[in-house]
Amino acid sequence: MDNLGKIPRSRKDKLFDFVNYGLLSIILILILYPLYLIVISSFSDPIVVNAGKVWLWPKDFTLKGYEILLENAEVWKGYVNSFLYTILSVLIGGSLVLTAGYALSRKDLVGRNFFMFMIVFTMFFSGGLIPSYLLVKDLQMMNTIWAVIIPSAVSAFHIIVAKTFFQSTIPEELMEAAKMDGCSTTKFFFKIVVPLSTPIIAVIALFSAVSEWNSYFPALIYLYDQALYPLQLILRSILIASQDAAQVGDGAVDPEMIAEAQHYKELVKYSLIIVSSLPVLIIYPFLQRYFVKGVMIGSIKG
């Protein structure tokens, strides 16, 4: 009985499946192998890695790179700072993006097209680094956490994605029905719109978190107190310090110290990548289904 409802597959169908699965497997390997190589290289001796002898398994297994990083108090401080910056960026930026996106999605918003034009305009033109620096300085945010968070809190791209999502997901009839029941605009947004917007909230949170976690340039420009440095800037400082250690007095360079510094740099390089990427790799699988759903809804139906 089970075979009665099945359509027999032709040889061409089977050949297509074989070629399709083969190509997808090759693409999967090309994507995953570089990541896998970084992981096994972080547990291998850098001399063996540079010699090209690490392919499938770690060789001359060592945890020295991780020990150097995890014993460094500045790394843990950088982790705390990065988590703080990321959480604040997601909360502040996400709140502003959702409210702006919803407001721009409403047809009864006066001047909606003008505001949308001004937001899109910022994607093509900006004031530049010097005006941004002077603005942050005049606002007295230099060497504070707000200099890292506030200037990049809102993304025009995120607002456009949120606006498209609301337009394609929240029908006007729903708002009209809520008004008939005496629901205000604010109550409608928090009680109805937000609970229905889990996919786009996850998308905006993931985008904001990854962007802020990987960011180091604002901290490099606006911060001069190392206690406020995010993780990315701390790791950059470690690599630079290993190079400076090779120099002796009067600008001279000791060949032995150069070799030692290079070995130190190679030892921690792959460990740095793993340490800095691990939180994002852990969080992403839990948000993946919302991420895909939110992006597809916002792109196809918009």
The tokens of 144 are what?
């504070």
Domain boundary among 62, 80, 103: 62
145 in a domain, yes or no? yes
Q: Side chain identity at 249, as an amino acid letter?
A: G
SS3 247: strand
Task: Based on the fold, state whether residues 91 and 240 are members of the same structural domain.
Answer: yes
Task: Based on the fold, state whether residues 22 and 120 are members of the same structural domain.
Answer: no
214 in a domain, yes or no? yes
As a whole number, mean pLDDT of residues 66-95 equals 88
pLDDT tens digit sequence for 254-297: 566 666 666 667 777 788 888 888 888 787 777 777 666 655 65
As a whole number, mean pLDDT of residues 205-211 equals 86
Give the model's confidence band at 1: pLDDT under 50 very low, under 70 low, under 90 confident, else very high. very low
Q: What is the pLDDT of residue 302?
A: 43
Task: Based on the fold, state whether residues 38 and 78 are members of the same structural domain.
Answer: no
Q: What is the CATH number of the domain that holds 174?
A: 1.10.3720.10
Residue for token digits 């290079």? 262
Task: Based on the fold, state whether residues 145 and 16 are members of the same structural domain.
Answer: no
Comparing CA positions, the residue from 271, 273, 247 lying closest to residue 260 is: 247
The answer, yes or no, to whether residue 215 has pLDDT greater than 50, is yes
As a whole number, mean pLDDT of residues 40-53 equals 82
How far is Cα 65 from Cα 54, in angstroms, rounded to an integer? 16
Contact 162, 204 (CB under 8 A): yes
Burial of 121 (0-12, 13-18, 19+ CB in 10 A): exposed
The secondary structure element, H or E, covering residue 188 is helix 185-188
The tokens of 180 are what?
């008939």
Task: Based on the fold, state whether residues 122 and 223 are members of the same structural domain.
Answer: yes
106 in a domain, yes or no? yes
Residue 117 pairs with which residues in a beta bridge? none
- pLDDT above 90 covers a percentage of the chain that reads 19
Return the minimum-mean-pLDDT range out of 8-17, 24-33, 96-105, 193-202: 8-17
Q: Side chain identity at 46, as an amino acid letter?
A: P
Task: Based on the fold, state whether residues 58 and 197 are members of the same structural domain.
Answer: no
93 in a domain, yes or no? yes
Task: Based on the fold, state whether residues 135 and 229 are members of the same structural domain.
Answer: yes
Give this prediction's pTM: 0.78
Structural domain range at position 17: 11-62
pLDDT tens digit sequence for 155-206: 898 899 899 888 888 888 888 888 888 888 888 888 888 888 888 888 888 8
- The count of domains in the chain is 2
Comparing CA positions, the residue from 276, 65, 256, 295 lying closest to residue 158 is: 295
Neighbours of 152 (CB within 10 A): 16
